[in-house]
Each structure stands twice: as C-alpha cells, then as structure tokens.
Amino acid sequence: MHIEISIPLQMLNLFDIDGVLVASYKVSTAAKGAGCIKNSECTPTGQHIIRAKIGAAEKLNAVYVGRRATGEICTPELMATHPNRDWILTRILWLSGTEIGQNRLGQVDTMQRYIYIHGTPDSTVMGKIGSHGCIRMRNADVVALFDLVQVGTSVNISND
C-alpha cells in the first residue's frame, strides 16, 4: 500500500501494492500552502512514512490534544467553548519525512512539526485548504484509511 496526496487537488489516494487505486478521499491541507519549514503552518511535501497510528480504540469525534485522547467527544457545544482550538479528532496517522534536508531533520522535520493525517469536525469543508499544516479528513474516512494502512506505509505529498 502507498498513499498519494495532491495539494492542488486536495485529494488523498490509497493504492495497493500493485498500484491499483483502493480508495480516494477529499482532504483539507494547509491554508498557507506547501512548505517544509518548521513553524510555517504549511503542509510538507515529498516522501514520508506513517510513523505511528494513534487512536485505534477511540470513538468517532474523540478529541486529541498532544496525541492523547482527552475523553471529550467533539460537539458543536464543545467547539463553541473552545473557538480557537485546532480540532484533531478520531484517529491520527503521524507522518515522518524520509528525505534529509527536505522533510527530515533540522528545520524541516515533518515528525518534529507534528504533521498528521487526522479527523476534523464534520463542519470542516473538505476539498479546500484550511489546516495548520496537517492533512484533515472526514472522521469516517480517516477511520477507513487507518484500518487499511500500517506503520511504515509510504506517503507522498505533492504540490503539482
């Protein structure tokens, strides 16, 4: 399996080992565009792997802070009480760059930037930019993807 994410198309495609398309999902990448620099709030490009899978046993809309489930379930009421929170929900696929100097180590380290593929509130528009660097997905979609991939799965993020 491998994942291809297109920033211009705002799409995530999952392919099997033979290169056959298994699933395709609309996503939302960074409002500030593509880039690998630390603190840029951009979505990093290039070759990555899934470093960790977090949240296998959590419910839909489970809220995460610092990669830990808070015990909260995201609701409109909870969102109203935390209007500035960057909502990370349901599942986390934590990415790690594999290209030294491009997206790994130093000021361009995807893993140290805490870049994930993760769930987001249902009110978030997919197919349009909007994240702080991560790849946002519908909660049902991120569960489906999470269940299909393994730690070590290749992820290519392209800006063309």
Domains of the chain: 2-158 (2.40.440.10)
Looking at the DSSP bridge assignments, the partners of residue 30 are 131
Tell me: the pLDDT tens digits for 43-80?
999 999 999 999 999 999 999 999 999 999 999 999 99
Q: What is the pTM of this model?
A: 0.96
- Residue 82 CB contacts under 8 Å (≥ 6 apart), including other chains: none
The pLDDT of residue 92 is 98
Tell me: the pLDDT tens digits for 117-158?
999 999 999 999 999 999 999 999 999 999 999 999 999 999
Tell me: the pLDDT tens digits for 82-98?
988 899 999 999 999 99
Q: What is the DSSP secondary-structure string of 72-138?
A: EE--HHHHHH-TT---EEEEEEEEEE-SBTTTBSGGG-TTTTT-EEEE--TTSPSSS--BSSSEEE-
Q: Which two three-digit tokens encode residue 11?
A: 């799409």
Name the pLDDT band for 115 (thresholds 50, 70, 90). very high
